[in-house]
A and B are shown apart, each in its own frame.
Chain A
Amino acid sequence: MSGNGLSYSEQGGEAAPELGQEAATTTTPSIPAAFGLFCSDIKKNEDLKQMLESSKDSAKLDAMKRIVGMVAKGKNASELFPAVVKNVASKNIEIKKLVYVYLMRYAEEQQDLALLSISTFQRALKDPNQLIRASALRVLSSIRVPIIVPIMMLAIKEASSDLSPYVRKNAAHAIQKLYSLDPEQKEMLIEVIEKLLKDRSTLVAGSVVMAFEEVCPERIDLIHKNYRKLCNLLVDVEEWGQVVIIHMLTRYARTQFVSPWKVSFSLEDNFCEKNFYESDEEQKEKDQKVKDTYTMDPDHRLLLQNTKPLLQSRNAAVVMAVSQLYWHLAPKSEAGIVSKSLVRLLRSNREVQYIVLQNIATMSIQRKGMFEPYLKSFYVRSTDPTMIKTLKLEILTNLANEANISTLLREFQTYVKSQDKQFAAATIQAIGRCATNITEVTDTCLNGLVCLLSNKDEIVVAESVVVIKKLLQTQPAHHGEIIKHMAKLLDNITVPVARASILWLIGEYCERVPKIAPDVLRKTAKSFTNEDDLVKLQILNLGAKLYLTNSKQTKLLTQYVLNLGKYDQSYDIRDRTRFIRQLIVPNEKSGALSKYAKKIFLAQKPAPLLESPFKDRDHFQLGTLSHTLNTQATGYLELSDWPEVAPDPSVRNVEIAESAKEWTGILGKPKKEKPTEKFYSESEEEEDESAGTNSSGRYLESNLHLRCLENCIFRTDHYFKRIGKISVPTKTHELLHRMSGKGLAAHYHFSRQPGIFGDRMVSVQVTVTNTTDHKIENIHIEEKKLPSGMRMHEFSPIECLEPAGSVTVSVGIDFCDSTQMASFQLCTKDDCFNVSIQPPVGELLLPVTMSEKDFKKEQGMLTGMNETSTAIPVAPQNSTRLVVIEKLVKAANLGVVPSGQDNIHRFAAKTVHSGSLVLVTVELKESSTAQLVINTEKTVIGSVLLRELKPVLSQG
Chain B
Amino acid sequence: MIHSLFLINAAGDIFLEKHWKSVVSRSVCDYFFEAQERASEAENVPPVIPTPHHYLLSVYRHKIFFVAVIQSEVPPLFVIEFLHRVVDTFQDYFGVCSEVMIKDNVVVVYEVLEEMLDNGFPLATESNILKELIKPPTILRTVVNTITGSTNVGDQLPTGQLSVVPWRRTGVKYTNNEAYFDVIEEIDAIIDKSGSTITAEIQGVIDACVKLTGMPDLTLSFMNPRLLDDVSFHPCVRFKRWESERILSFIPPDGNFRLLSYHVSAQNLVAIPVYVKHNISFRDSSSLGRFEITVGPKQTMGKTVEGVIVTSQMPKGVLNMTLTPSQGTHVFDPVTKLLSWDVGKINPQKLPSLKGSMSLQAGSSKPDENPTINLQFKIQQLAISGLKVNRLDMYGEKYKPFKGIKYMTKAGKFQVRT
B230 engages A105 (CB within 8 Å) = no
* Chain B residues numbered 93-148 whose CB sits less than 8 Å from any CB in chain A: 103-107, 109-111, 114, 118-119, 121-123, 125, 137, 142, 146
Say how far A77's CB is from chain B's closest CB, in angstroms.
Answer: 12
What mask results when residues 405 to 434 of chain A are scored 1 for a CB within 8 Å of chain B, else 0? 000000100100111000000000000000
Which residues on A sit within 8 Å (CB–CB) of B162? 164-166, 203
What is the 8 Å Cβ interface bit string for chain B, positions 31-74, against chain A (1 contact, 0 not)? Answer: 00000000001011011101000010011110000000011111
> Which residue of A58, A97, A105, A351 is within 8 Å of B80 (Cβ)?
A351
| B16 proximal to A (CB < 8 A) | yes
Known: A170-B118, A240-B82, A355-B77. A134 touches B41 (CB 8 A): no
Name the segment of B19-27, B177-185, B347-355 touching the other chain.
B19-27
| B365 touches A (CB below 8 Å) | yes
A-B contact count (CB 8 A): 287
Q: Are B152 and A94 in contact (CB under 8 A)?
A: yes
**Contact A314-B235, Cβ < 8 Å, known A166-B157, A629-B50:** yes
- Enumerate chain A residues within 8 angstroms of B290, measured Cβ to Cβ: none
**Interface size class, chain A:** 35 or more
Asked if A515 is at the interface (CB within 8 A of a chain B CB), the reply is no
Asked if A774 lies at the interface with its beta carbon under 8 angstroms from chain B, I say no
CB–CB A314/B261 < 8 A: yes
The answer to whether A379 and B75 have CB atoms under 8 Å apart is no
A625 to B54, CA, bound (A): 12
CB-based contact B157/A58 at 8 Å: no
- Chain B interface extent, by class: 35 or more
A386, B26: Cα distance in complex, Å: 28
Assess whether A474 is interfacial by the CB under 8 Å rule.
no
Q: Describe A's contact surface by its main secondary structure.
A: helix
Tell me how far the C-beta of B255 lies from the nearest C-beta in chain A, rounded to whole angstroms. Answer: 16
Give chain A residues whose Cβ lies under 8 Å from the Cβ of B137: 23
State whether A58 and B119 are in contact (beta carbons under 8 Å apart), knowing that A166-B161, A347-B203, A379-B198 are contacts in the complex. Answer: no
Contact call B81/A72, Cβ cutoff below 8 A: no
| A94 and B153 contacting across the interface, CB-CB below 8 Å | yes
Residue B166 is within 8 A (CB to CB) of chain A in the complex = yes
Whether B415 and A385, one on each chain, are in contact in the complex, defined by CB atoms closer than 8 angstroms, is: no
B365 touches A701 (CB 8 A): no
Distance A235 CA – B60 CA, assembled complex (angstroms): 31
**CA A804 to CA B110, docked complex, whole Å:** 55
Contacts of A65 in B (CB 8 A): 107
Per the bound structure, the CA–CA distance linking A170 and B161 in Å amounts to 13
Give the contacting residue for B17; candidates A19, A72, A629; CB below 8 A: A72
Which of B71, B118, B155, B369 is close to A138, meaning CB atoms less than 8 Å apart? Answer: B118
Interface residues of A in 193-222 (CB under 8 A from B): 203, 207, 210
Q: Does B222 contact A (CB under 8 A)?
A: no
- Considering the chains assembled together, what is the distance between the CA atoms of A633 and B316 in angstroms? 41
Query: Taking the complex as formed, is A43 at the interface, i.e. its CB lies under 8 A from any CB of chain B?
Result: no
Among residues of B, the one whose C-beta sits closest to the C-beta of A698 is: B164
Q: Within 8 Å CB of A381, what residues of B?
A: 190, 413, 415
**Cβ–Cβ contact A628 & B238, under 8 A:** no
Q: Taking CB as reference atom, which chain B residue is nearest A67?
A: B107
In the bound complex, what is the Cα–Cα distance between A94 and B153 (angstroms)?
A: 6
Which of the segments A272-280, A536-544, A634-642, A894-902 contacts the partner chain? A634-642
Contact across chains for B238 and A382 when beta carbons are under 8 A apart: no
A247 to chain B, nearest CB (A): 7
Find chain A residues with CB under 8 A from B302 CB. none
**Contact call A74/B198, Cβ cutoff below 8 A:** no
Contact A312 B374 (CB under 8 A): no
With a CB–CB cut-off of 8 A, which chain A residues contact B417?
414
Task: Report yes or no: B75 in contact with A247, Cβ–Cβ below 8 A.
Answer: yes
Whose C-beta in chain A lies nearest to the C-beta of B107?
A: A65
Q: Say if the beta carbon of A492 comes within 8 Å of chain B.
A: no
**In the complex, residue of chain B having the shortest beta-carbon distance to the beta carbon of A620:** B73
Q: Which residue of B lies closest to A700 (CB)?
A: B238
Nearest-CB distance from B355 to chain A (Å)?
Answer: 23
* A626 contacts the other chain (CB 8 A): yes
Supposing A243-B75, A633-B73 touch, asked if A383 and B47 sit within 8 A by C-beta, the answer is no
Query: Within 8 Å CB of B110, what residues of A?
Result: 68, 71-72, 101
Interface residue A256 (Cβ < 8 Å from any Cβ of B): no
B240:A702 contact, CB within 8 angstroms: yes
Cβ distance B190 to chain A, nearest Cβ, rounded Å: 6
Q: Is residue A20 within 8 Å, beta carbon to beta carbon, of the partner chain?
A: yes
- Chain A 114-137 interface 0/1 with B at a Cβ cutoff of 8 Å (1 = within): 000000000000000111101000
26 contacts between A and B (CB under 8 A): A26-B107, A71-B110, A93-B151, A129-B156, A132-B155, A166-B161, A243-B78, A313-B233, A317-B78, A320-B75, A340-B230, A341-B230, A344-B261, A349-B84, A350-B60, A351-B47, A351-B58, A386-B44, A623-B75, A625-B73, A629-B50, A629-B55, A635-B73, A698-B163, A699-B236, A707-B240
